[in-house]
Structure 1
Amino acid sequence: MELSAGVWESLKAVRERSPLVHNITNYVVMNNTANALLAVGASPAMVHAREEVADFAVLSQALVVNIGTLSPDWVEGMRLAVHAARQARVPWVLDPVGAGATRYRTTTSAELARQAPAVIRGNASEVLAMAGEAGATRGVDSTRSSDASLEAARGLASRLGTVVAVTGKTDYVTDGSRVVAVDNGHPLMARVTGMGCTASALVGAFLAVEPDAVLAAARALAVLGLAGELAAEQSKGPGSLQLHLLDALYTLDEATVRARARVR
């Protein structure tokens, strides 16, 4: 299937099936990611209490685990949700926010990464840190390019038997052998907090309708990047970009996706 056509087919499937996406994510982005999932056609649930995460994970079509605001209780909830999702064969996404910045983040990311995520989605510094290389992490922001981390992403994917999606100016998705590049996006997106977290949430939605994790991740990133481009064309700055981004996710049509999705 033509790559841009595949992007549209997966987006259409998300809209038709409205998959339930269970998110254990951070305080900073809950509203952003929930609204983005709704706009793209999925059904978000932000459930993190350890008393219910296992029950909820098995009801969902995908699980997204984001370690942006860590605490011991939340980490335990993540462990329980991941275990339940694996038992129920629910695909799950790991977003290792800030891996490499502190020992707690790095060890938590490494522990969860060993639990067979379908996709690990991170920026270049996070992926380099998880691969055991110096990522030059500055807090939760990347100081390295996605190009610089591609080989590390391939090695990490091969070692863990998973798919790694590293986002940046160009997004790369790899299972260690295949590599798909996504060239959609706009620099203004980097001025909105949690855009990477939104990317991970959308990857979860696309995993719910596309079993090939490489294709699911690449298509989700293409949709977000294209929506960002369309939003930037109407925005004066990052504040209005957020509003226009949700509208763009909601109104994306087949002709626009086929004409402007840049996946190779």
Structure 2
Amino acid sequence: MTLLPLGDYLEALRHTTPLIHCITNYVAMNSTANLLLATGASPAMLHAQEEVAEFTALSSGLSVNIGTVSAPWAEAMLTATATANQHAIPWVLDPVAVGATTYRQQLCGQLLAMSPTVIRGNPSEILALNGLKSQGRGVDSTSTTEQAAEAAIALAKQQGCIVAMTGERDWVTDGRQHYQIEGGHPLMPRVTTLGCALSALVAGFVAANRDHPLAATTAALACFAVAGEQAGSVAQGPGSFQVALLDALYQLTADDLSANARVVAIDAI
């Protein structure tokens, strides 16, 4: 597959303004909504079992994040993903700290059975999902992207989906084609929930580019990386970085993304 200019995928998102249903953690709701709005998507945050199926059917894309999961939320996640599948709505799984507890592992096993379109996680989470031992520390990653590359490819093949690993370098694969994305800024890990928000952004890009989920996921990560670099050039610390990142995403043009994205196709491993 040859990628179109990455700005084309951003242009599609802004043209369609996809409604992204986010079942995400308490910490991430506000920042995720603001990031989606700044980029051009329309966010919705709800998780009540009584309405989740009805609303998922109305949405363009779904992002499921298990960060502050509880039993009622888990049921809502399973209902939402089943509904997404029934209506051919793309959805993204963010398996936050999946290696930390048995409960998270069991839930993610159920969610994997619901066939996510994209899995977005750090290397430790991807290793844990693939059944490999990894010393993940909470939501942090203690494994490098390179160490998890084979696990990502295996997971993508097994699930028939896109796997996006994010870290110092980002990595996207569908099991056959692989792309590495460079960029971002060292302040990004100092601002909580940016990874959670990125998963929702991936859902937005894929919802707006349904026929090209691998390319759309790559474009979403590249968009985040370019905006992160721009924000870091003016930020004085984590607080101002968060504000600058929203501004950078809002101001980013399709041409800027196409010109400044650093994406490299990786040979088969």
TM range (shorter): over 0.9
Q: Larger deviation: 207-216 or 219-228?
A: 207-216
What aligned pairs does 1:40-189 form with structure 2 within 5 A after superposition? 40-189=39-188
Q: Which residue matches 2:217?
A: 217
Does the 8 Å contact 2:227/2:248 carry over to 1?
yes
Distance 2:109 2:85 in 1: 17
Distance 1:2 1:79 in 2: 34
Q: Which residue matches 2:248?
A: 248
TM-score (norm 2): 0.95
Distance 1:254 1:59 in 2: 28
Q: CA deviation at 1:255?
A: 3.5
Does the 8 Å contact 1:6/1:219 carry over to 2?
no
TM-score (norm 1): 0.97
Q: Which residue matches 1:10?
A: 9
Distance 1:119 1:258 in 2: 22
2:259 paired with 1:259: yes
Q: CA deviation at 1:229?
A: 0.6
Runs of 4+ in structure 1 deviating by more than 3 angstroms, as ranges, are none
Q: CA deviation at 1:2?
A: 7.0
Distance 2:176 2:142 in 1: 26
Does the 8 Å contact 2:7/2:256 carry over to 1?
no
Distance 1:74 1:24 in 2: 8
Distance 1:255 1:88 in 2: 33
Does the 8 Å contact 1:180/1:214 carry over to 2?
no
Distance 1:121 1:159 in 2: 15
Number of aligned residue pairs: give it.
263
Does the 8 Å contact 2:39/2:250 carry over to 1?
yes
Q: CA deviation at 1:186?
A: 1.2
Distance 1:20 1:258 in 2: 24
> What is the identity percentage for the equivalent residue pairs of Structure 1 and Structure 2?
51
Q: CA deviation at 1:258?
A: 2.5
Distance 1:234 1:131 in 2: 39
Q: Secondary structure at the match of 2:208?
A: coil
Does the 8 Å contact 2:10/2:254 carry over to 1?
no
2:252 paired with 1:239: no
Q: CA deviation digits over 1:88-129, x for unaligned, max 9?
A: 110100000001011111111121012110000000000000
Does the 8 Å contact 1:127/1:152 carry over to 2?
yes
Does the 8 Å contact 2:52/2:76 carry over to 1?
yes
Does the 8 Å contact 2:6/2:254 carry over to 1?
no
Distance 1:128 1:228 in 2: 26
Q: CA deviation at 1:233?
A: 0.3
Distance 1:194 1:164 in 2: 19
Q: CA deviation digits over 1:26-52, x for unaligned, max 9?
A: 000100000000000000000111110
Q: Which residue matches 1:229?
A: 229
Q: Secondary structure at the match of 1:263?
A: strand
Distance 1:90 1:180 in 2: 24
Q: Larger deviation: 178-187 or 118-127?
A: 178-187
Q: CA deviation digits over 1:193-248, x for unaligned, max 9?
A: 01111110100000111122211111100001111110000001111000000000
Q: Which residue matches 1:192?
A: 191
Does the 8 Å contact 1:164/1:173 carry over to 2?
yes
Q: CA deviation at 1:146?
A: 1.0
Q: Secondary structure at the match of 1:182?
A: strand
Q: Give the residue type in structure 2 aligned to 1:260.
A: N
Distance 2:159 2:14 in 1: 31
Q: Give the residue type in structure 2 aligned to 1:134.
A: K
CA RMSD of aligned residues (A): 1.2
